[in-house]
């Protein structure tokens, strides 16, 4: 069950489609209020904003596109998490280009300890998967602050990127090991001795040759 900003968002109704600012919302002419302008110029995705205040990405999209205006509870949540003043939603949009600045949630995130420990020591897919499972359990905690939610989301993205790198490296390592094995004089000698020992046994020899060929180890 949603509470606070989530209930206000549901009361306002969801937009027809998810997403952030549409192209025509990048100029001051299309902004209906200073609040919409500030929301549009945040560096966070609609999903990140929604998670931080308890609203869906579709609702955030409707605010950014000017289809809806956040209700009072949602405006207060946006002020607390992203420093968008409640009064900004009834002010005319500023024509001054926005100055990049960290939001309150982003500032809080930078001061928090890691959600999971050992990310920089994770060198196997299994270890990364363990950390991903732990961080997803943490993200499901409804008591997280906006900064903690952003921190957890950032660490999950980092882990997913790390997992892809570890998988690529494992594939390269495996190919390198197999290539080295095939070229090893000891393996070549062992393979030759095995084949010679099986020559009196045609059926077994054929089976071994087939297995070597299937594995890429044939002479």
> CB neighbours (10 Å) of residue 117?
10
**pLDDT tens figures, 4-62:** 444 444 443 433 333 445 433 444 447 889 999 999 888 888 899 999 999 999 999 99
Residue 26 tokens, joined: 């990048």
Q: How crowded is residue 89: how many other Cβ atoms within 10 Å of its Cβ?
A: 22
Record the tokens describing residue 197, joined without a space: 């020992």
155 vs 143: CA distance, rounded Å: 18
pLDDT category at 106 given cuts 50, 70, 90 is low
The DSSP secondary structure of 136-177, one letter per residue, reads HHHHT-TT--HHHHHHHHHHHHHHHHHHHHHHHHHHHHHHHH
Mention every residue, 6+ apart, whose C-beta is less than 8 A from residue 95: 28
Predicted TM-score (pTM) of this structure: 0.38
Calpha distance 144→91 (Å, rounded): 31
* Residue 23: per-residue pLDDT: 35
Instruction: Indicate the average pLDDT of the chain.
Output: 76
Q: Is the pLDDT of residue 73 over 90?
A: yes
**1/156: higher pLDDT:** 156
- Are the C-beta atoms of residues 159 and 123 closer than 8 Å to each other? no
**Residue 158: pLDDT over 50:** yes
């Amino acid at each position: 069950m949603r509470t606070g900003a989530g209930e206000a968002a549901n009361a306002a109704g969801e937009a027809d489609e998810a997403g952030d600012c549409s192209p025509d919302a990048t100029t001051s002419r299309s902004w209906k209020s200073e609040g919409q302008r500030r929301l549009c110029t945040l560096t966070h995705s609609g999903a990140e904003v929604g998670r931080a205040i308890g609203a869906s990405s579709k609702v955030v999209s409707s605010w950014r596109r000017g289809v809806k205006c956040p209700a009072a509870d949602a405006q207060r949540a946006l002020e607390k998490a992203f420093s968008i003043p409640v009064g900004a939603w009834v002010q005319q949009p500023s024509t001054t280009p926005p100055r990049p600045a960290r939001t309150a949630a982003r500032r809080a995130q930078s001061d928090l300890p890691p959600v999971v420990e050992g990310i920089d020591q994770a060198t196997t897919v299994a270890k990364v998967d363990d950390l991903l499972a732990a961080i997803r359990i943490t993200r499901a905690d409804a008591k997280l602050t906006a900064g903690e939610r952003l921190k957890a989301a950032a660490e999950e993205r980092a882990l997913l990127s790390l997992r892809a790198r570890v998988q690529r490296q494992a594939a390269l390592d495996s190919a390198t090991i197999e290539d080295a094995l095939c070229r090893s004089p000891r393996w070549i000698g062992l393979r030759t001795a095995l084949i010679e020992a099986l020559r009196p046994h045609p059926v077994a020899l054929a089976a071994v040759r087939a297995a070597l060929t299937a594995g890429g180890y044939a002479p």
